[in-house]
Amino acid sequence: MRDEFYIEVGSLQKSHAGERICGDVFVSQKVKEEGRTVVVLSDGMGHGVKANVLASLTATMALNFTKEHKDAHKIAEIIMNTLPVCSERKISYSTFTVVDMEDSGQTTIINYDNPACVILRGNETFQADWQHITLESEDNRGKEIMACSFLAGKEDRIILMSDGITQSGLGQGTYLLGWGEDHVREFILSQVRDHPDLSAARLAASLVSRAHANDAYQAKDDMSAVVVYFREPRRLLLCSGPPYEKDKDPDLAGVVRSYAGKKVICGGTTADIVGRELGIPVVDRLEFDDPDLPPVSDMEGIDLVTEGILTLSKVAQMLESHSSYPELGKGPADRIIRLLLESDEINFWVGTAVNVAHQDPSLPVELEIRRTVVKRIARILEEKFLKEVSLQFI
């Protein structure tokens, strides 16, 4: 990753009213060894399980072929020749949009039949040099793909969407012909101009929420929005656990004092060590925002202080149980997750001293030791949310 910017990816999906499974599929992956990030949005024909199967197959193929550096012609031909034929309409159909980004900012977009991407440079639209690629094979002759390449820079955004967004409101109220790409673009621009540092996840959520409102909160199609945001990295330090050797306490406190970013301490002993070394009192609260967890504490200069292993275990469980960005409350675990997901570079400093309380056989068997649960959180953040994560054990 270059120092100039971080590539944040955020998404939100809403299923067709009455459907539990979304017919749109979003997948993403970082190719660390090549310094690339690839995201794909696919919309299967119809909605529900059948649409999801088509879109899942399309998205997975598009992701894998893009990682292998296959060109747009080849990707489209293989996908269209591989998709199963719909038993009712006798056609196979699934749209896709692929964004392939290098850490240098070099970006390639391939779009087949999804609404046009919105590309922003700052708070203005950016007109990329789109190429029309016409397929020529016997089965797909005449089908057209749009592709473009450009060098992205800090404060650029790329917004992908399925047609559930652009067609929202169709036949009712203000947008009898649907919301439309022009109105969608105006909405996105207004959001970014009003909130210049709006995160990718929040912009995607705003777009889907507005489209859902256009349909009177009864979505007439699956709705998906994906936002890529090239921006200044947001850094977070999370410390949990006392160092293995007591003479390392000043080192841990020094890391907390000098860190340039937001700071979270998980664990009463850890907070006491940092407070003692830095001369900062720990002020306990009595408000139980989550009945399962002890309340948070306050320390000057620290963004959040919570209990340790119980809270981190719940963080891991919540992150694993959500396919995208979870709805969050006010509890300690919710607050940690909010800080994690709003950050890009996350640095874990984990003490390796054994807490005797956690060896009590009467405690639940799922209570994991600190190192294990932090590694679990780090893996989820890297694989599911594309965060840059580092682990330091002390």
Burial class (CB in 10 A: 0-12, 13-18, 19+), 51: buried
- Give the per-residue pLDDT at 71: 76
Q: What is the pLDDT of residue 2?
A: 45
Whether 106 shows a pLDDT value over 90: the answer reads yes
Per-residue model confidence (pLDDT) at position 349: 95
Which of 321 and 377 is assigned the larger pLDDT? 377
Q: What is the pLDDT of residue 153?
A: 92
Enumerate residues 6+ apart whose C-beta is below 8 A from 327.
none
Q: Each residue of 229-268: pLDDT tens digit?
A: 999 889 999 999 999 888 999 999 999 999 999 999 999 9
Residue 26, pLDDT above cutoff 80: yes
- Residue 69 has a pLDDT of 83
Check whether 74 has a pLDDT greater than 90: no
Mean pLDDT of 323-352: 86
pLDDT (mean) for 300-320: 92
Q: What is the pLDDT of residue 194?
A: 95
Beta-sheet strand order (sheet of 223-231): 6-14, 223-231, 156-161, 118-121, 124-125
Mean pLDDT of the chain: 88
Provide the percentage of residues in the chain whose pLDDT is more than 90. Answer: 60
More confident residue, 136 or 128: 128
From-to residues of CATH 3.60.40.10 in the chain: 6-231
Q: Please tell me the predicted confidence (pLDDT) of residue 287.
A: 84
pLDDT at 1: 43
Is the model's pLDDT at 87 over the cut of 70? no
Q: Are 11 and 226 in contact (CB under 8 A)?
A: yes
pLDDT at 375: 93
**Which strands, in side-by-side order, build the sheet including 345-350?**
283-284, 297-298, 304-306, 262-266, 235-240, 345-350, 388-393
Question: Which of 124-138, 302-316, 368-382 tops mean pLDDT?
Answer: 302-316
Query: What is the reported pLDDT for 73?
Result: 77
- Tokens representing 315? 């963080």
The rounded percent of the chain whose pLDDT value lies above 70 is: 91
pLDDT at 90: 58
Name the pLDDT band for 88 (thresholds 50, 70, 90): low
d(CA 224, CA 11): 7
For residue 332, count other CB atoms closer than 10 A to its CB.
Answer: 26
pLDDT higher than threshold 70 for residue 351: yes
Three-class secondary structure of residue 181 per DSSP: helix
Asked whether 225 and 165 are in contact (CB, 8 A), the reply is yes
Listed range (78-87, 192-201, 257-266) with the worst mean pLDDT: 78-87
Instruction: Record the pTM.
Output: 0.78
Q: How many residues does the chain have?
A: 394
Q: Print the SS3 string covering 111-151.
A: EECCCCCEEEECCEECCCCCEEEECCCCCCCCCEEEEEEEE
Q: State residue 357's pLDDT score.
A: 56
Selected residue with higher pLDDT from 324 and 71: 71
| Confidence band for 365, pLDDT divided at 50, 70 and 90 | very low
Model confidence over 279-296: pLDDT tens digits? 999 998 888 888 889 999
Please tell me the predicted confidence (pLDDT) of residue 187.
97
**Greatest mean pLDDT range, 154-163, 288-297, 376-385:** 154-163
CATH class label, 6-231: alpha beta
Say which residue, 137 or 394, is predicted with more confidence.
Answer: 394
Rounded to an integer, the average pLDDT of 197-206 is 91
Least confident of 100-104, 110-114, 214-218, 284-288: 284-288
pLDDT for 93: 78
Most confident of 80-84, 190-194, 230-234: 190-194
